[in-house]
Amino acid sequence: MIVHLHAPMAGWALDLAQVPDPVFAERMMGEGFAIDPLEGVIRAPCDATVIAVAPTRHSVTLKLANGAELLIHVGLETVALAGDGFTARVRDGETVTLGQVLLEVDLDPVAARARSLITPITVTSEGFAVTLHGLDARVKAGDPLADIAPLATADVAADLGEDTARCTIRVPLPSGIHARPAARIVTALKPFTAEVTLSAHGKTANARSIVALLSAGIRHDDEIEIAGRGPDARAAIAALATLIEKGMSEEAHQPVAPVAAPAPDGLIHGVRAAPGLAIGPVFQFRPTDVAVPEQGNGAPAESGALAAARTQLQAAGNGHGPGADIAAAHRALIDDPELLAAAQRLIAQGKSAAFAWRGAIRGHAEAIRATGDRLLIERIADLKDIERQIVALLVGADTAMPIPPRGAILITDELLPSHFAALTDAGVAGICTAYGGPTAHAAILAASAGIPMLVATGTAVLELEEGNEVLLDADRATLDPAPQPAARDAAAAQLRRQRDRATAETAAAQDECVMADGTRIEIFANLAASADAAPAVALGAEGCGLLRTEFLFHDRSSAPDEEEQRAAYAAVAAGLAGRPLIVRTLDIGGDKPVAYLPFPHEENPALGARGIRFSLANPGLLAIQFRAILRGVPAGQCRIMLPMVVDAGELAAARAILNRVRADLGIDIPIPLGVMVETPAAALLADSLARDADFLSIGSNDLTQYALAADRGNPAVAAMVDALHPAVLHLIARAAEGAKAHGRWLGVCGGIASDLAAAPILIGLGVTELSATPATIPGLKAAVRALDMPTCRALAAKALSMSTAAGVRKLLEGTG
């Protein structure tokens, strides 16, 4: 079916090539035309359905009767006007007829503030031929300008009689489908061959393309349709639906930090992205674009150069921690099929690889910006980052990156994750950005590097004089551009105290942890990557109290074999240099799905076949893991721990498999086998479990969610999931009694072990080992050394008599 398009307003009709923006001029947003408007009333160019009016009302997308999607983008860079001067006359989902008013634009004020009023009108969906007529002429609203016809292949693709499948789900992810979930979706589909799409708000996105997924603007609680076509469509869709429905362990984005007290005039306000305080000279960070040649040396050479640069970046180190997660998301973006197709189109037009890559990225960034979604827009920095990295590889080193002096407060418009390593090496004291948001990847890196960071301050910070001393108080979300001596001295004194304390704690971190009354408490580290072990020891870890072996099983298409597992466990053991290593057997299922393992669909996976249940249902996999552990970790160092145990029957079944493996390997020395206490059942039956287990360790994250019936991954109940709730403390007390009755030790390896305030209660209840995140170890050791047992016992008894978590927290603050 051919749809005829008419001019949506009076003006000059132009070829897209005349639009002063490469995104449109290079047709990255599709084929079409543009109008330089002479009036501010924008009308429907044909009968259609409104897919979306941008929240900033500067653009409208329409679905035409033949399925094509049409974008009317009023002016250039008008998104920045945040809706000023634009009035929407239609709503999403409304049916409109040719000539009906869609938007009204106050032309004069908009013209004064926008880059241009030229309005591109483009067909954004693939599979349509656009025939243009009557361009380069003055038109009035309603004049015919283009015909849009589906390409024959699109019709054929409608039904090939292949295996098709579809399902509809709601998106539980608190920040919708942003870069990290999109990357995981693309990875999860790798084992399948089916074509898979996600549809929401009338938009359909290729589920193998991160940029397409981002451009779809899928948000929390949206209903989406997943559709697949191909021999394994059903399996692919089931895997994807499960992955998304389980929430991908996404946390709610950090709340914007409230300003603790009204700040006096003269302060610049922003949003806290990473906590802390810093004083230092302003360093205006203005990396400039590396110049790239527009014309290439022929398509084959340029395609080859782009492929080589992508391969080089893909091969760059894997690492661990948040930086590695972000790098993994970037690696997936580099392979994005839509991004590559856009770049290849430009290369085919004779452009250089660097020019094409930059153009492709910027086109997609604009499409994301057009969604108007704040959280998605924060992800544009990731696109810019892979633009920068690939362009640097193609045209030579990125010499444009200025390096700040040590101790400076870095000020910039927006920070890219790949700038980070150089900045932390340079020792910046604080970071402040005019744009960006608290969930941007640079913010996550700043928080993990301990660099205070303020974002979204507005452009006033970009005017600050280079070298002037400023005071950044990220906790109060302010920047003082000219601190008074009193404020400056107070901040300097506070920084000195923090630094002295950290220095003292680090100096004592290698000493054993002994309480003031002589009680020995072991402080271990939780680990989730081989490379984390040695750094944890450097921070004072006396061993590993929980090795989350899931790290070996995620983000891949098949399970690691025995040898790969053995090598990984051996590497952790070596990193610990003989210190005890507690390897937890695979804990997948629940909130930790793995697409390639045989999980049936579960209505309520948190109560389903996860942890030890999965392992006992797949004894072959468990035996391989036991063999890999016993072969990789020296016997004297090795301990094994089972997750999600509810009773001694599971422990006995697992021990039988372990004993068989030991016999096969000829290992006579008994290997301590412990259980995690992370179900209320295990806590209540601790006496019976401790009879057969060599040790118990509290998994407070799960114990809390199951005791309080509050999903640990659901932001709506996040505030409830507090392991210091008296109900959870009673379960821990019960576990401690059980352990003591049989002379077993009791540890804690859930998140509460890293909460310094909780240590006296846990110790008072009978815990003798705390396994914490490595970074907290020096402070935790210092806090525990200051405690004595009689005080801890009294505090624990008092906490057990409280009726709410808030009551316990108040007690700890000394106000209860």
Instruction: Kindly list the catalytic residues.
Output: 441, 749
Query: Which stretch, 72-80, 181-189, 290-298, 702-710, contacts Mg ion (CB under 5 A)?
Result: 702-710
Query: Which stretch, 318-326, 339-347, 665-673, 693-701, contacts ligand PEP (CB under 6 A)?
Result: 693-701
Residue ranges of E strands in 635-703:
638-642, 673-677, 695-698
Q: Are 811 and 799 in contact (CB under 8 A)?
A: yes
Q: Assess 542 for contact with Mg ion (CB under 5 A).
A: no
Give min distance, CB of 749 to ligand PEP, in A: 5
Give whichever of 492 and 756 is closer to ligand PEP, judged by the CB atom. 756
**Kind of pairing, strands 453-455 and 469-473?**
unpaired
Give whichever of 428 and 541 is closer to ligand PEP, judged by the CB atom. 541
Give whichever of 217 and 699 is closer to Mg ion, judged by the CB atom. 699
Give min distance, CB of 650 to ligand PEP, in A: 16
Q: Which of 678, 694, 755, 769 binds ligand PEP (CB under 6 A)?
A: 678
Alpha-carbon 363 to chain mean position: 23
Q: Assess 701 for contact with ligand PEP (CB under 6 A).
A: yes
Give min distance, CB of 605 to Mg ion, in A: 13
Give min distance, CB of 294 to ligand PEP, in A: 51
- Give the one entry of Mg ion, ligand PEP, none that residue 183 binds, where binding means its C-beta sits below a cut-off of 5 to 8 angstroms depending on kind: none
Residues 638-677 touching ligand PEP, rule: CB under 6 A, are none
Give min distance, CB of 678 to Mg ion, in A: 5
Q: Assess 680 for contact with ligand PEP (CB under 6 A).
A: no
- Give the one entry of ligand PEP, Mg ion, none that residue 116 binds, where binding means its C-beta sits below a cut-off of 5 to 8 angstroms depending on kind: none
Q: Which of 358, 378, 354 is nearest to 368 (CA)?
A: 378
The residue to which tokens 């200025």 are assigned:
402
Per-residue binding string, Mg ion, 143-182, x by CB under 5 A, is ----------------------------------------
Give min distance, CB of 640 to Mg ion, in A: 16
Query: Which stretch, 360-368, 485-493, 574-582, 698-706, contacts ligand PEP (CB under 6 A)?
Result: 698-706
List the end-to-end C-alpha distance of the chain, in Å, as a whole number: 73
Give min distance, CB of 727 to ligand PEP, in A: 16
Give min distance, CB of 644 to Mg ion, in A: 7
- Total number of residues that touch Mg ion (CB under 5 A): 3
Give whichever of 226 and 723 is closer to Mg ion, judged by the CB atom. 723
Q: Are 340 and 332 in contact (CB under 8 A)?
A: no
Give whichever of 279 and 644 is closer to Mg ion, judged by the CB atom. 644
The residue to which tokens 């295990």 are assigned:
682
Burial class (CB in 10 A: 0-12, 13-18, 19+), 321: middle
Q: Which of 803, 768, 719, 21 is nearest to 362 (CA)?
A: 21
Q: Are 784 and 763 in contact (CB under 8 A)?
A: yes
Q: Tell me how far apart the alpha carbons of residues 210 and 188 are, in angstroms, rounded to a whole number.
A: 12
Give whichever of 480 and 678 is closer to Mg ion, judged by the CB atom. 678
Residue 586 burial (CB count, 10 A): 25
Six token digits for residue 74: 């009023």
- Give the one entry of ligand PEP, Mg ion, none that residue 700 binds, where binding means its C-beta sits below a cut-off of 5 to 8 angstroms depending on kind: ligand PEP
Burial class (CB in 10 A: 0-12, 13-18, 19+), 575: buried
Burial profile 802-816: b = 16 or more Cβ within 10 angstroms, e = fewer: beebebbbebbeeee
- Find the farthest-apart pair of alpha carbons in the chain and give their distance in angstroms, rounded: 92
In the three-class reduction of DSSP (H, G, I as helix; E, B as strand; rest coil), residue 409 is classed as strand
Give min distance, CB of 729 to ligand PEP, in A: 15
The answer for residues whose C-beta is within 8 angstroms of residue 494's C-beta and 6 or more apart is 277
CA distances from 481 to 258, 469, 472 (A): 20, 7, 9
Per-residue binding string, ligand PEP, 552-591, x by CB under 6 A, is -----------------------------------x----
Query: Which stretch, 120-128, 231-239, 292-300, 697-705, contacts ligand PEP (CB under 6 A)?
Result: 697-705
Burial class (CB in 10 A: 0-12, 13-18, 19+), 479: buried
Q: Assess 385 for contact with ligand PEP (CB under 6 A).
A: no
Give the CB-nearest residue to Mg ion: 702
Q: Which of 758, 606, 734, 742 is nearest to 682 (CA)?
A: 734
Q: Assess 589 for contact with Mg ion (CB under 5 A).
A: no
Give whichever of 302 and 587 is closer to ligand PEP, judged by the CB atom. 587
Query: Which stretch, 89-97, 318-326, 447-455, 695-703, contacts ligand PEP (CB under 6 A)?
Result: 695-703
Per-residue binding string, ligand PEP, 505-544, x by CB under 6 A, is ----------------------------------------
Give whichever of 546 and 612 is closer to ligand PEP, judged by the CB atom. 546
Q: Tell me how far apart the alpha carbons of residues 714 and 220 are, in angstroms, rounded to a whole number.
A: 12
Q: Which of 248, 217, 141 is nearest to 555 (CA)?
A: 248
- Total number of residues that touch ligand PEP (CB under 6 A): 10
Residues 740-799 touching ligand PEP, rule: CB under 6 A, are 749-750
Q: Assess 678 for contact with Mg ion (CB under 5 A).
A: yes
Torsion-angle region of 420 (φ positive above 0: left; ψ -120 to 50: alpha; else: beta): alpha
Q: Which of 610, 606, 800 is nearest to 706 (CA)?
A: 606
- Give the one entry of ligand PEP, Mg ion, none that residue 749 binds, where binding means its C-beta sits below a cut-off of 5 to 8 angstroms depending on kind: ligand PEP
Q: Which of 702, 722, 755, 769 binds Mg ion (CB under 5 A)?
A: 702
Give whichever of 233 and 696 is closer to Mg ion, judged by the CB atom. 696
Which one-letter DSSP state was computed for residue 462?
G
Q: Which of 699, 715, 738, 747 binds Mg ion (CB under 5 A)?
A: 699
Six token digits for residue 147: 């015909």
Give whichever of 285 and 706 is closer to ligand PEP, judged by the CB atom. 706
Taking the alpha carbons of 273, 274, 275, 276 in that order, is the dihedral positive or negative? negative
Burial profile 668-692: b = 16 or more Cβ within 10 angstroms, e = fewer: eeebebbbbbbbbebbbbbebbbee
The residue to which tokens 């997924």 are assigned:
213
Q: Tell me how far apart the alpha carbons of residues 671 and 586 are, in angstroms, rounded to a whole number.
A: 18
Q: Are 188 and 178 in contact (CB under 8 A)?
A: no
Give min distance, CB of 701 to ligand PEP, in A: 3
Q: Assess 548 for contact with ligand PEP (CB under 6 A).
A: yes
Q: Tell me how far apart the alpha carbons of residues 342 and 346 are, in angstroms, rounded to a whole number.
A: 7
Per-residue binding string, ligand PEP, 702-721, x by CB under 6 A, is x-------------------
Strand order in the sheet with 271-274: 268-269, 478-480, 469-473, 277-284, 409-412, 430-433, 453-455, 271-274
Partners of 432 in the β-ladder: 411, 454
CA distances from 103 to 44, 368, 385 (A): 9, 21, 35
Q: Tell me how far apart the alpha carbons of residues 223 and 218 are, in angstroms, rounded to a whole number.
A: 9
Q: Which of 8, 176, 699, 713 binds ligand PEP (CB under 6 A)?
A: 699
Give whichever of 208 and 548 is closer to ligand PEP, judged by the CB atom. 548
Give min distance, CB of 723 to ligand PEP, in A: 8
Taking the alpha carbons of 369, 370, 374, 379 in that order, is the dihedral positive or negative? negative
Query: Which stretch, 39-47, 102-110, 310-318, 696-704, contacts ligand PEP (CB under 6 A)?
Result: 696-704
Q: Tell me how far apart the alpha carbons of residues 504 and 492 are, in angstroms, rounded to a whole number.
A: 18
Give whichever of 75 and 699 is closer to Mg ion, judged by the CB atom. 699
Give min distance, CB of 548 to ligand PEP, in A: 5
The contact set with ligand PEP (CB under 6 A) reads 546, 548, 587, 678, 699-702, 749-750
What is the contact surface with Mg ion in residues (CB under 5 A)?
A: 678, 699, 702
